[in-house]
């Protein structure tokens, strides 16, 4: 096997079946800074931008920023930022080399360079995929002002660590230099993600001074967006297979599915690519799409992850092929669908049918443990929000609350039926401390609701706790089969 790398100079020699950027990358101008250059960004926004660049919209190259580790930069820098996107369905795979990431910065190595990129007048849009936990929300939804990184960034505005610190400082510098603010486009799985980030950033800026907070609140656009593409973590086997097909080494190809969706609120005062020409849906209000995606896709993903892990399934397709889990997911969807707006033109029948097909994609090997990470950050918008709305309509969210119980049971199973760090959560230390207290199911659920701030202050809290506690008791006593039996779902597995 060759050790030559995928790069500008080797890309022309790739097999004809591999699509390569057909544009002159040297002529592309950086117009977007992206915070959080993980696999998801590279399978989603970077691919859309690649299409824009190929169509001649050359002002929208991406400067990729990693807020934490240097891994992606180290893999991509020797490849001139090029990487392979492998689009996989159960029976086919197509390869495409993406060229939209022009350069990469690693924030902890050089925060000044990140601030310079953000302050560059050519930067008109800042996109983010930093994952739920990096928004540093407190249980009530506001900014976690006691978080050490927030404290650090307030004390060291020139050397930030958080997205909040970078955005606030660069917006302050742009303002001082009379450079128009960039538009901030959140692409994480949070409800009303633009408004959520705006609220957090304004709170953060207010701690630096009310003037900056007012400037951000009044002058900066935060369109919300719904992003969707399933992106399993790349494995060493994927690296070897893709490099074999390319004939040169790609140190970090990205695996994904054929489905891809991006719905974006059209509010870009500093300009934007003509995304609508490349499959992006531009709308006035993304709310209904976002709720449908969070509650039907992400909610069932978490369900499949925790129930799948407790049932011994390593991947989504395997878990979803179990008729009992499949039946549970149908029941979960039925509960969540009742919470979605009726008048927004959502076709939930078609949407869930598509989800079932996507979850059955056997080529993805999307690991249940990957989705299981960070449950405390994900369940509020995926499960608890629907459960609270259902309760206020007088209907018990029995299926929804089994997902919460399954999360707690899966956390308890770590170090026992599941490997110690099979998945992780920002609350792990506190969760481990609970585990040592050998609490009853009821006590454990109350403690976890308090820790994670689930349904905080909601009138529904106690009923939700009771439902989850009954489920957890059954999970502890008789596993997933016992919990399913109580819902009338027949399991064939022992």
Min separation Cβ 364 and ligand CS2, Å: 10
Number of residues binding to ligand CS2, judged by CB under 6 A: 9
Asked if 189 is part of the footprint of ligand CS2 (rule: CB under 6 A), the reply reads yes
Candidate residues 301, 390, 461, 474; the one interacting with ligand CS2 per rule CB under 6 A: 301
Interatomic CA distance for residues 89 and 364, integer angstroms: 7
CA atoms within 13 A on the CB side of 480: 27
> Counting Cβ atoms within 10 Å, is residue 383 exposed (0-12), middle (13-18) or buried (19+)?
buried
Q: Specify the residue, 230 or 472, whose C-beta has the smaller distance to ligand CS2.
A: 230
Adjacent-strand bridge partners of 106: 66
Candidate residues 170, 245, 298, 311; the one interacting with ligand CS2 per rule CB under 6 A: 298
Asked if 386 is part of the footprint of ligand CS2 (rule: CB under 6 A), the reply reads no
Min separation Cβ 189 and ligand CS2, Å: 5
Asked if 314 is part of the footprint of ligand CS2 (rule: CB under 6 A), the reply reads no
Min separation Cβ 403 and ligand CS2, Å: 12
Q: At what angle do helices 111-119 and 163-176 cross, to 10 degrees?
A: 50
Asked if 243 is part of the footprint of ligand CS2 (rule: CB under 6 A), the reply reads no
Q: Specify the residue, 262 or 268, whose C-beta has the smaller distance to ligand CS2.
A: 262
Min separation Cβ 319 and ligand CS2, Å: 13
Interatomic CA distance for residues 360 and 369, integer angstroms: 17
Q: Specify the residue, 192 or 469, whose C-beta has the smaller distance to ligand CS2.
A: 192
Asked if 51 is part of the footprint of ligand CS2 (rule: CB under 6 A), the reply reads no
Candidate ranges 26-34, 208-216, 222-230, 444-452; the one touching ligand CS2 (CB under 6 A):
222-230
Residue corresponding to tokens 């870009």: 268
Residues 65-94 that bind ligand CS2 (CB under 6 A): none
Candidate ranges 115-123, 224-232, 279-287, 475-483; the one touching ligand CS2 (CB under 6 A):
224-232
Candidate ranges 28-36, 228-236, 273-281, 409-417; the one touching ligand CS2 (CB under 6 A):
228-236
Q: Specify the residue, 378 or 474, whose C-beta has the smaller distance to ligand CS2.
A: 378
Candidate ranges 30-38, 93-101, 106-114, 225-233; the one touching ligand CS2 (CB under 6 A):
225-233
Asked if 461 is part of the footprint of ligand CS2 (rule: CB under 6 A), the reply reads no
Min separation Cβ 50 and ligand CS2, Å: 18
Interatomic CA distance for residues 296 and 233, integer angstroms: 22
Q: Specify the residue, 81 or 299, whose C-beta has the smaller distance to ligand CS2.
A: 299
Q: Specify the residue, 123 or 377, whose C-beta has the smaller distance to ligand CS2.
A: 377
CA-based nearest residue to 204, from 121, 124, 159, 146: 146
Adjacent-strand bridge partners of 64: 34, 104
Min separation Cβ 439 and ligand CS2, Å: 27
Q: Specify the residue, 229 or 471, whose C-beta has the smaller distance to ligand CS2.
A: 229
Min separation Cβ 382 and ligand CS2, Å: 8
Asked if 228 is part of the footprint of ligand CS2 (rule: CB under 6 A), the reply reads yes
Site residues for ligand CS2 per CB under 6 A: 189, 228-230, 298, 301, 370-371, 378
């Amino acid at each position: 096997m060759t050790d030559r790398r995928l790069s500008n100079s080797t890309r022309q020699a790739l097999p004809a079946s591999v699509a390569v950027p057909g544009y002159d990358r040297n002529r592309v101008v950086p117009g977007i800074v992206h915070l959080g250059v993980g696999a998801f960004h590279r399978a989603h926004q970077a691919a859309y931008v690649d299409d824009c660049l190929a169509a001649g919209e050359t002002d929208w190259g991406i400067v990729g920023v990693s807020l934490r580790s240097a891994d992606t930069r180290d893999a991509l820098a020797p490849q001139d930022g090029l990487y392979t996107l492998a689009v996989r369905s159960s029976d086919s795979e197509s390869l495409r080399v993406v060229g939209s990431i022009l350069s990469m910065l690693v924030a902890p190595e050089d925060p000044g360079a990140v601030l310079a990129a953000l302050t560059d007048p050519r930067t008109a849009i800042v996109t983010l995929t930093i994952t739920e936990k990096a928004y540093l929300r407190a249980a009530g939804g506001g900014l976690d002002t006691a978080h050490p990184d927030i404290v650090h960034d307030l004390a060291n505005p020139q050397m930030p660590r958080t997205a909040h610190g970078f955005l606030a400082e660069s917006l302050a510098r742009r303002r001082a230099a009379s450079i128009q603010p960039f538009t901030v486009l959140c692409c994480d799985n949070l409800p009303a993600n633009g408004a959520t980030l705006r609220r957090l950033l304004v709170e953060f800026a207010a701690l630096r001074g009310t003037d900056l907070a007012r400037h951000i609140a009044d002058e900066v656009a935060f369109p919300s967006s719904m992003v969707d593409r399933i992106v399993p973590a790349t494995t060493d086997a994927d690296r070897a297979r893709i490099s074999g097909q390319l004939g040169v080494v790609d140190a970090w190809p990205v695996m994904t599915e054929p489905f891809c969706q991006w719905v974006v609120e059209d509010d870009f005062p500093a300009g934007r690519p003509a995304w609508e020409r490349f499959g992006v849906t531009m709308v006035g209000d993304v709310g209904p799409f976002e709720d449908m995606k969070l509650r039907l896709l992400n909610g069932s993903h978490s369900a499949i992850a925790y129930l799948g892990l407790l049932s011994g399934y390593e991947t989504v397709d395997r878990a979803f092929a179990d008729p009992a889990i499949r039946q549970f997911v149908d029941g979960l969807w039925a509960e969540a669908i009742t919470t979605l707006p009726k008048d927004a033109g959502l076709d939930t029948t078609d949407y869930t049918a598509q989800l079932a097909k996507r979850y059955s994609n056997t080529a993805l090997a999307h690991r249940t443990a990957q989705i299981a990470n960070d449950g405390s950050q994900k369940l509020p918008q995926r499960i608890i929000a629907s459960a609270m709305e259902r309760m206020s309509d007088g209907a018990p969210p029995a299926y929804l609350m089994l997902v919460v119980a399954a999360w707690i049971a899966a956390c308890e199973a770590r170090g026992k039926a599941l490997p110690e760090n099979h998945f992780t959560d920002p609350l792990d230390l506190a969760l481990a401390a609970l585990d040592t207290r050998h609490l009853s199911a009821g006590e454990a659920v109350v403690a976890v609701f308090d820790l994670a701030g689930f349904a905080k202050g909601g009138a529904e809290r106690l009923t939700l706790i009771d439902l989850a506690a009954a489920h957890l008791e059954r999970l502890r006593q008789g596993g997933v089969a016992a919990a399913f039996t109580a819902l009338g779902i027949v399991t064939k597995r022992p």
